Chains A and B, each alone.
Chain A
Amino acid sequence: SQQGEEDPQALSIQEGENATMNCSYKTSINNLQWYRQNSGRGLVHLILIRSNEREKHSGRLRVTLDTSKKSSSLLITASRAADTASYFCATAMKTSYDKVIFGPGTSLSVIP
């Protein structure tokens, strides 16, 4: 089964609103990353948070990590139509050799 699971699967909001996506995982991690994928394109790295960090900011993005609950959230503030995309969390697991597992993603639609 998936290491990471995003919630919700799909989200539709009005431009200017905030969008929150959640990610839950099962095993211990070294870090957690969020990626964006526009339709028909490759994934683009947005932000990384390490297991010893609780919150990180990058522009309009805010990521939190709760290792006790094995969950993370991605907040996009003041959304724009250009933010319409799928968002994936990726967990780098603590194993004998590292591995990054992607969740199924959240599809975000920002309506102008």
Chain B
Amino acid sequence: DAGVIQSPRHEVTEMGQEVTLRCKPISGHDYLFWYRQTMMRGLELLIYFNNNVPIDDSGMPEDRFSAKMPNASFSTLKIQPSEPRDSAVYFCASSPPDRGWTEAFFGQGTRLTVV
């Protein structure tokens, strides 16, 4: 398996623009997590899905952020409108059934820069 695949790897956008980050989890995994990593705040859990259903979105910073998982092989994290403080590395991770809280497989991340 190719692992968790995220796209794009790098994104530079202007403030106010819409940004969409994409994630393809490992086949067969039924947990999907979105994390954000910054120097100031470290690694923060934004939202997680189980069997395509959002379970906990309490980490989503504000209404400008939304996440979807239309099927087991695809998820998106959207920021609209984007702001400079959203600049961070965004990671997607997935876990196999019954191991959602024992081991997460991370993608390479998307480095987002909002100017």
Which of B43, B101, B106 is close to A31, meaning CB atoms less than 8 Å apart? B101
CB-CB under 8 A from B106, the residues of chain A are: 42-44
Any A CB within 8 A of the CB of B105: yes
How many whole Å from A80's CB to the nearest CB in chain B? 22
Any A CB within 8 A of the CB of B108: yes
Are the CB atoms of B42 and A103 closer together than 8 Å? yes
Are the CB atoms of B42 and A105 closer together than 8 Å? yes
**Complexed CA–CA distance, A105 and B38 (Å):** 12
Are the CB atoms of A48 and B102 closer together than 8 Å? yes
Count of chain B residues with a beta carbon within 8 Å of a chain A beta carbon: 19
Q: Which residue of B lies closest to A50 (CB)?
A: B102
CB-CB under 8 A from B25, the residues of chain A are: none
Interface size, A (range): 20 to 34
**Complexed CA–CA distance, A43 and B37 (Å):** 11
**Complexed CA–CA distance, A44 and B104 (Å):** 8
Which of A43, A45, A101, A103 is close to B45, meaning CB atoms less than 8 Å apart? A101
Any A CB within 8 A of the CB of B56: yes
B54-65 to A contact mask, C-beta < 8 Å, 1/0: 011000000000
How many whole Å from B3's CB to the nearest CB in chain A? 9
Q: Which residue of A lies closest to B41 (CB)?
A: A104
Q: Which residue of B lies closest to A45 (CB)?
A: B103
Which of B45, B108, B109 is close to A100, meaning CB atoms less than 8 Å apart? B45
Any A CB within 8 A of the CB of B67: no
Instruction: Spell out A's residues near B (CB within 8 Å).
Output: 2, 30-31, 33, 41-45, 48, 88, 92, 97-105
Q: Which 9 A-B pairs have the closest CB atoms?
A: A42-B106, A102-B43, A92-B101, A98-B101, A104-B42, A43-B106, A45-B103, A42-B108, A42-B107
Instruction: Spell out B's residues near A (CB within 8 Å).
Output: 4, 35, 42-43, 45, 55-56, 91, 93, 100-109
Instruction: Given contacts A42-B91, A42-B93, A45-B105, list 8 more A-B pairs with CB under 8 A.
Output: A2-B42, A42-B108, A43-B93, A88-B43, A92-B102, A99-B101, A102-B43, A103-B42
